[in-house]
């Protein structure tokens, strides 16, 4: 079963204004990007025994799964400085096939942290899991085996602009951890990554999940907006008397 799109709903508030972007039911709060059928669905993700490069839906659940190449997802809500936390699962990469087990999380739709089955790679490069895609390799290979859930945490600082709209500071990955190990730290990005290299930069933008390369699953996707000092923003209480 795949899903129609609806308006954004802000969920959970573990850290003040923290937003949960995967609701376990449908694609509320997301726009699809790209051509082709929408194969995103919910269930319990597992490796496909008939083709380990792919995932399968192994019963009911609240995990967001693409069992094959499909459209990308871009959040309706935009964010500036923020911390993104997400768990993901990929299948087993096939030698010579760069699309198997290949996904990514993009900040503002253009700055990508790579997701890939890099398990066992001795010296990870710019296309391996935890890389700033095509720009900066991960500091260590922290990848788990395909078919296992992995945790990615991205502390992101948006580019800065002056009153005239001119960029005065680059975007920065302040810190990125994969399965608890630091894979990027204080990495400035002067432009979007790869195909987004020449894309316009902005002070805020969506969260983007790549689906057009290979099978992937996500769960527990949370975004905590930060203020300019790097502190979690607090939700403004609603006054029901007004």
At 156, which CATH number?
Answer: 2.60.120.560
- The pLDDT of residue 153: 98
Residues 218 and 9 sit within 8 Å (Cβ to Cβ): no
Rounded to whole angstroms, how far apart are CA atoms 136 and 83? 19
161 within a domain of the structure (yes/no): yes
Rounded to whole angstroms, how far apart are CA atoms 239 and 113? 39
Number of structural domains found in the chain:
1
Greater pLDDT, 195 or 95: 195
| Counts for the chain of helices (H) and strands (E), in that order | 0, 17
Q: Pick from 110, 100, 28: which is nearest to 69 by CA?
A: 100
Assess whether pLDDT exceeds 90 at residue 6: no
14 within a domain of the structure (yes/no): no
Rounded to whole angstroms, how far apart are CA atoms 8 and 21? 9
2 within a domain of the structure (yes/no): no
Rounded to whole angstroms, how far apart are CA atoms 169 and 63? 37
Rounded to whole angstroms, how far apart are CA atoms 139 and 238? 44
Assess whether pLDDT exceeds 50 at residue 238: no
230 within a domain of the structure (yes/no): no
198 within a domain of the structure (yes/no): yes
| pLDDT per position as a tens digit, 79-124 | 999 999 999 999 998 776 656 789 999 999 999 999 999 999 999 9
Sheet holding 102-107, edge to edge: 30-33, 72-75, 207-209, 102-107, 111-116
Residue spans of beta strands (DSSP E) within 53-92: 55-57, 63-66, 72-75, 82-90
Q: Pick from 47, 88, 66, 46: which is nearest to 1 by CA?
A: 66
Rounded to whole angstroms, how far apart are CA atoms 136 and 114? 10
* Residue 197 belongs to domain spanning: 19-225
5 within a domain of the structure (yes/no): no
171 within a domain of the structure (yes/no): yes
Q: Pick from 78, 82, 229, 54: which is nearest to 154 by CA?
A: 82
32-55 burial, b at 16+ Cβ within 10 Å, e below that, comes to bbeeeebebbbbebbbbeebbbbb
| pLDDT per position as a tens digit, 41-55 | 999 999 999 999 999
- The pLDDT of residue 230: 78
Quote the percentage of the chain above a pLDDT of 90: 77
| pLDDT per position as a tens digit, 118-150 | 999 999 999 999 999 999 999 999 999 999 999
Looking at residue 56, the DSSP 8-state letter turns out to be E
- The pLDDT of residue 231: 84
pTM (2 d.p.): 0.89
242 within a domain of the structure (yes/no): no
3-state secondary structure of 160: strand
């Amino acid at each position: 079963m795949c899903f129609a799109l609806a308006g954004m709903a802000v969920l959970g508030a573990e850290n003040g204004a923290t937003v949960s972007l995967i609701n376990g039911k449908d694609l509320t709060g997301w726009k699809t990007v790209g051509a082709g059928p929408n194969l995103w669905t919910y269930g319990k993700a597992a490796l496909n025994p008939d083709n380990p490069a792919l995932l399968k839906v192994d019963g009911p659940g609240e995990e967001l799964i693409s069992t094959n190449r499909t459209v990308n997802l871009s959040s309706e809500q935009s964010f500036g400085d923020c911390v993104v936390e997400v768990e993901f699962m990929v299948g087993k990469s096939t030698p010579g096939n760069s699309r198997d087990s290949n996904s990514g999380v993009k900040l503002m739709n253009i700055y990508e942290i790579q997701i890939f089955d890099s398990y066992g790679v001795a010296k990870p490069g710019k296309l391996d899991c935890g890389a700033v895609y095509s720009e900066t390799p991960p500091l260590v290979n922290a990848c788990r085996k395909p078919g296992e859930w992995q945790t990615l945490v991205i502390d992101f600082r948006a580019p800065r602009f002056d009153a005239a709209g001119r960029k005065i500071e680059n975007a920065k990955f302040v810190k990125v951890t994969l399965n608890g190990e630091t894979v990027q730290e204080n990495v400035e990005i002067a432009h979007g990554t790869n195909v987004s290299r020449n894309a316009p930069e902005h002070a805020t933008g969506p969260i983007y999940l790549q689906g057009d390369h290979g099978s992937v699953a996500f769960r527990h996707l949370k975004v905590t907006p930060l203020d300019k000092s790097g502190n979690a923003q607090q939700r403004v209480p609603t006054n029901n008397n007004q």
